[in-house]
Amino acid sequence: FPGPVAEMQTFGRGKRVGYWLSEKKIKKLNFHTFVEMCRASKLYHGIHYLCKAYSRQCTLLLDLSQPLEQQGPLDAIIHKLTDHIVDADQNVTESILLVQSVQEYIDAHPETVILDPLPAIRTLLDRLKSYTLIHKIEESMKDDRICSPSFMGLSSECGPDMLEQLHKNGITFPFICKTQVAHGINSHEMAIIFSEADLKDIKPPCVLQSFINHNAVLYKVFVVGEAYSVVERPSIRNLPFGPTDQRAISFNSHHVSKPESSSDLTSRDNLEGQFRTPSDDVIQKISRCLRQALGVSLFGIDVIINNQTGQHAVIDINAFPGYEGVPEFFDDLLTHLTSILQDHVPAGPLRANGVSQSLPTVCGVPCGMLANEGSHWVIDGEGTKKSSHQGLNYCNADRAPNYQQHCRASLAAEASTQ
């Protein structure tokens, strides 16, 4: 290797971490701050930027269009390849080759920690798969404090039996219509369907999800390994239950949930029922199960609180979110990366980011369960307040409505006791 890599000292070998993020993501996160933190850490010789074209900001040029085998060894890779994974699934040749190249390196080097595994990312990029997963996790948890909304997939335009299909799958008016692909600009474009009259306007493939009144508050849970932060955001106002004459409302979920968002759609003039903040214990359980079922470390969970029952409902899961409003993100990422690289022991197939899984199931959900998803979920139209780091087995009392919380959990350690 040219430059500083060739001159690296071999005694007391440090760790080498590669990363690939889009330029937009790098700027949005100010990820170079994290690069400098890694360089300052005694654990690392350096963190190296995986990129396709030369950049002065690269510590080392690693070309993803070429075999990574020639550019390693790498102890860990941090990436957000979501754009390329989606394009590969759309048969874009360049992305297919790039993703295959990365996966080939991963397969050949089980000792390399991947944040996060590509199959897991594919699951999170498909709302139908991720919603199926969260429902299976909830079934296994048997916790009355959790009840996510009913949903179903739609692969073709609505047929004459659509109302029957909605009833069969527990979907009630109003419901949210979302794209099945949970990434990209279009993934934020959604619609609220209030009655049968607007079913004809639904554009498949999509996922339909019952709307739950939640007093216009969304809780975004940002997970980094064993730590999570909860940030409160605006959300859709309470809506009348059952079919109404209201015409469908189209909206952009990204705009609706911005901290400064204020509109009639996010009005909090009709608050009613229960107003609770998320339970630490519930968020811990959901995060731990998702992390272990998929082997992921960097993800976000959108949670609302049912204003009638007080139950937690997961309405979306995101791969490597933006971590807006989480000033501890880089500290948590460095802590997590350091921990898994120090503890990492290459093992068999049940390895999740350095955490050895000795049992065939985690949180009651079999590893690899997504390969056996039932088709009954899919039909066609014809048929931060910031607290100090603390253990997450603590169940919080109700807090003031405006808060931001940051906690650290030994999720993997606690899961081993389940």
Q: What is the pTM of this model?
A: 0.81
- In 3D space, the residue among 68, 97, 84 whose CA is nearest the CA of residue 25 turns out to be 84
What the block records as the tokens of 70 is: 């020639």
Question: What is the average pLDDT value for the chain, to the nearest integer?
Answer: 78
* pLDDT tens column, 33-68: 888 888 777 655 556 555 433 332 223 435 677 788
The more confident residue out of 83 and 62 is 83
- In 3D space, the residue among 301, 354, 1 whose CA is nearest the CA of residue 124 turns out to be 301
C-beta atoms surrounding 283 within 10 Å: 24
pLDDT at 14: 67
3-class DSSP state of 178: strand
pLDDT at 55: 33
Query: Can you tell me the distance from the alpha carbon of 250 to that of 159, in angstroms, rounded to the nearest whole number?
Result: 22
311-336: average pLDDT: 95
340-344: average pLDDT: 78
Label residue 407 by pLDDT band (50, 70, 90): low
How close are the terminal C-alpha atoms of the chain, in Å? 46
16 secondary structure, DSSP code:
E
Label residue 195 by pLDDT band (50, 70, 90): very high
- In the chain, % of residues over pLDDT 70: 73
* pLDDT tens column, 85-118: 999 998 999 999 899 989 999 999 999 999 999 9
User: Highest mean pLDDT range out of 10-14, 57-61, 211-215?
Assistant: 211-215
Query: Can you tell me the distance from the alpha carbon of 52 to that of 254, in angstroms, rounded to the nearest whole number?
Result: 29
pLDDT at 66: 75
Q: What residues are paired with 49 via a beta bridge? A: 19
pLDDT at 221: 97
- In 3D space, the residue among 150, 122, 73 whose CA is nearest the CA of residue 315 turns out to be 150
Label residue 406 by pLDDT band (50, 70, 90): low
What lies within 8 Å, CB to CB, of 52 at 6+ separation is: 63, 64, 65
- CA distances to 15, 31, 224, 274, 336 from 49, in Å: 14, 11, 20, 48, 19
Label residue 259 by pLDDT band (50, 70, 90): confident
pLDDT at 315: 97
Label residue 18 by pLDDT band (50, 70, 90): confident
- pLDDT surpasses 50 at 158: yes
pLDDT at 400: 36
Q: What is the 3-state secondary structure (H, E, C) of 193-253?
A: ECCHHHHHHCCCCEEEEECCCCCCEEEEEEEECCEEEEEEEECCCCCCCCCCCCCCEEEEH
356-373: average pLDDT: 45
Label residue 301 by pLDDT band (50, 70, 90): very high
